[in-house]
A and B are shown apart, each in its own frame.
Chain A
Amino acid sequence: MVTRIKQKQIAQLINDGKRLDGREFDKHREIKLEIGVIEKAEGSARVFLGDTEVLVGVKVGIGKPFPDTPSEGVLTVNVELVPLASPMFEPGPPNEDAIEIARVTDRGIREAKTIDLEKLCLQPGKTVLVVFIDVYVLNHNGNLIDASAIAALAALLNTKTSKYEIEEGEVKVKPGYNQLPIRNHPIAVTFAKINDKLIVDPSLEEEEVMDARLTITIEKEGKICAIQKGGTGQITKEQIMEAVKTAETKSSEIRKMVVKD
């Protein structure tokens, strides 16, 4: 998709400490958030990361817990690379790229213990609430992981579920709503390695030139809660530690935009 000459230009600029769109190495594109855009969903958010656009809908249903966690609600993340979002996307079940984005987003939310899943249990071993986070990519211009993670968190913070109670072994819906119990705010920060330099929030063109990708997810106390290296290139330990430190600062900046008290 990116011509050779543009690939060379991107790499050359990086060598000179510059980027194609004029950003500094550690700058994200402009992040815009719209909350509660889908009334039918229990929670939703649309996130723009430059020209990348992602819509997340959260649906909450009743289901069975996993046998190894009988008193916890269930969390699932699914990513759809919708064909209208890019000429590279095709209809069909999620491919490995979609699955990777979903699993990295899931890992950040799960490992930060973002949702208090024990509060979603109605009857231990029998009935729990199931939280479905569906990420819909609407326009792909690079760094879908960060956009998905931000949109998923924003949608969760906006999620209200019906009030359920168990009466005589049956699930009854009561009037009113409950806010989904959210207790942590993980933020993913993705780097691309181009010509041995790390740049934050790669655009699609930069992603097509990058040797390797590194995503660091940081929870609200500043601990790392998920990491994923991607791409067919290699990185050094020094680059990883540099990325971790940058991610710590960047994640707290982004968190302030997403979480408003």
Chain B
Amino acid sequence: MTKSDEKLIDKNGLRIDGRKPDELRSIKIKVGVLSNADGSAYIEQGKNKILAAIYGPHETHPKHLALPDRSRLKCRYHMAPFSVDERKSPAPSRREIEISKVIRHALEPSIFLEYYPRTSIDLYIEVLQAHGGTRCASITVASLALADGGIPMRDLTVACAAGKVDGHIVLDLTDNEDKKGQADVPLAIMPNLNAITLLQMDGQLTISEFEETVEFALKGCKQLYEKQREALKAKYVTVEGEEE
């Protein structure tokens, strides 16, 4: 924020990577990418590259952690040491511990955990390359890994951030925009239930700016949801004429 000489939005209203304010980064999603996992998915959102896998529901270890009336979702968000400019220590940082918690809370409302009492579902998220907005992309891809693993769910969960950069409200912030911008609002929704399951904010926004930012993020989530659905369906669709 101190080096504000660098313009993040040019005179045509375009961002450094050429996107319009309300444009998402390019998205590539693949479901079912790891053979050992019970469910898995991979996402590329701009330069973010993230893998998610689930194991379970299975017996809980140690047993005293088991919940009598529902399954226990365990979530580990982790960044690879080579995923960022300066090598990140592989030990979990405070940031990663907090993000693991908010991701778990963002996904739990969508899962019928009560179908599997006393069991655990382990969700592992590995950020292979990070370029801003990894917690949101992680939620989007983790929800697909759960779906791929056949976990019964009320809805998919999809997440996207919006924020304020150079005085403009923009969608899907990159690393630079997040660091040099004025505010960042990550948000996750269950699109068919009209429910928000993750909301955070840092930076400074007036109440009306905040409302506009939330609207932006909600629109972004809905666009992403279409991509998410396509990716999930793509796993089960055979190309017509393939068996000729």
Contact = CB atoms under 8 A, between A and B. Distances in A.
A99 B94 contact: yes
A223 B205 contact: yes
Interface string A207-250: 00000001000010011111111111111110011001100100
19 contacts: A96-B98, A96-B101, A99-B98, A102-B94, A214-B199, A222-B206, A223-B205, A224-B210, A225-B203, A227-B201, A228-B102, A229-B102, A229-B200, A232-B104, A232-B108, A234-B109, A234-B195, A235-B196, A248-B207
Instruction: Sort A-B residue pairs by CB-CB distance and give the 6 closest, nearest first.
Output: A234-B195, A227-B201, A229-B199, A232-B108, A223-B204, A96-B101
B196 A229 contact: yes
Contacts of A96: 97-98, 100-101
B199 A227 contact: yes
B28 interface: no
Contacts of B200: 227-229
Interface string B174-187: 00000000000100
B108 to A, nearest CB: 4
Contacts of B201: 224-228
Contacts of B97: 96, 99
B218 interface: yes
A205 interface: no
Given A227-B201, A232-B108, A245-B207, 13 more contacts: A96-B101, A99-B94, A99-B97, A99-B101, A103-B98, A112-B204, A224-B207, A226-B202, A227-B185, A228-B200, A233-B197, A234-B109, A240-B214
B186 to A, nearest CB: 10
Interface of B: 2, 86, 94-95, 97-98, 100-102, 104-105, 108-109, 185, 190, 193-207, 210-211, 214, 218
Interface of A: 67, 69, 94, 96, 99-100, 102-103, 107, 110-112, 214, 219, 222-237, 240-241, 244-245, 248
Contacts of B196: 229, 234-237, 240
A229 B198 contact: yes
A248 B102 CA distance: 24
A164 B203 CA distance: 31
A235 B199 contact: yes
Chain A CB within 10 A, most for which of B2, B97, B104, B201: B201
B205 A224 contact: yes
Contacts of A236: 194-196
Nearest to A227: B201
B199 A225 contact: no
A230 B101 CA distance: 9
Contacts of B205: 223-224
Contacts of A224: 201, 204-207, 210
Contacts of A232: 104-105, 108-109
Contacts of A237: 196, 214, 218
A61 to B, nearest CB: 19
A87 B190 CA distance: 36
A225 B209 CA distance: 12
